Amino acid sequence: MEQLRIVIADDHPLYRDGVARSLSEDPGLLVVGQAQDAKAAVELAARLRPDVLLLDISMPEGGGLAALRAVMDWPEPPKVAMLTASEEDDIVMQALKAGALGYILKGVSARDLVGVVKDLARGQTYVSPLLASRLLTAMRGGAKAKPANPLEDLSKREEDILALVAEGKSNKEIGLSLDLQEKTVKHYMTSILQKLHLRNRVEAAVLARDHLRR
């Protein structure tokens, strides 16, 4: 069985080692490296090319957001999640906007963390349930006259596409599932983001998981 390769970056050695041990207990996961700051995290990820990179936001040498932005400039970046104790909405939004697929609070159980890492490797998104409702409110920007279900403005086809986005599928995979050309899916995605006043696929996936009932 091919193992998922993981790099963990956190400036607290005891916590970092604990996360590594928790993940390593699963035979499908392999922690290939650990870093203590943002600069080391980027250098290590560049050398080891992990499938998943876990970044603490408050690390020295620029913090996790700086490391995130650096790796997202690569042609084929790893799947990145922020592993942190911070619950500030602004930081969450910055991380998701910069390309993070996940935002995981440090209180998560070892079992849940293993599941989240596997989901991230498949391209799925994750935001801690404790943050999800506040994040949705922030994404909507407090706009007035919003329908109880913001997805009411979407067509049936757009809802179908959004449901597949929430499952972590790419535009190409969505096209194959719905018998649509990839460029048509891109057109639908542009419309979906505009109607829901969202900025990217991660925000769309979070919103879909809260409101779609399938």
Backbone torsions φ then ψ of 38, nearest 5 degrees: -65, -45
Pair 10, 19: CB distance under 8 Å: yes
Do 150 and 196 lie in a common domain? yes
> pLDDT tier at 174 (50, 70, 90 boundaries)?
very high
Instruction: Give the Å distances, CA to CA, from 185 to 57, 62, 168, 192.
Output: 33, 37, 14, 10
Residues 88 and 26 in one domain: yes
Whats the size of the chain, residue-wise?
214
- pTM passes above 0.85: no
115 with 180, same domain: the answer is no
Between these two residues, 142 and 72, which has the higher pLDDT value? 72
The total number of structural domains in the chain stands at 2
Interatomic CA distance for residues 141 and 204, integer angstroms: 14
Domain that holds residue 187: 143-211
**Binning pLDDT at 50, 70 and 90, where does residue 193 land?**
confident
Domain match, 63 and 148 both: no
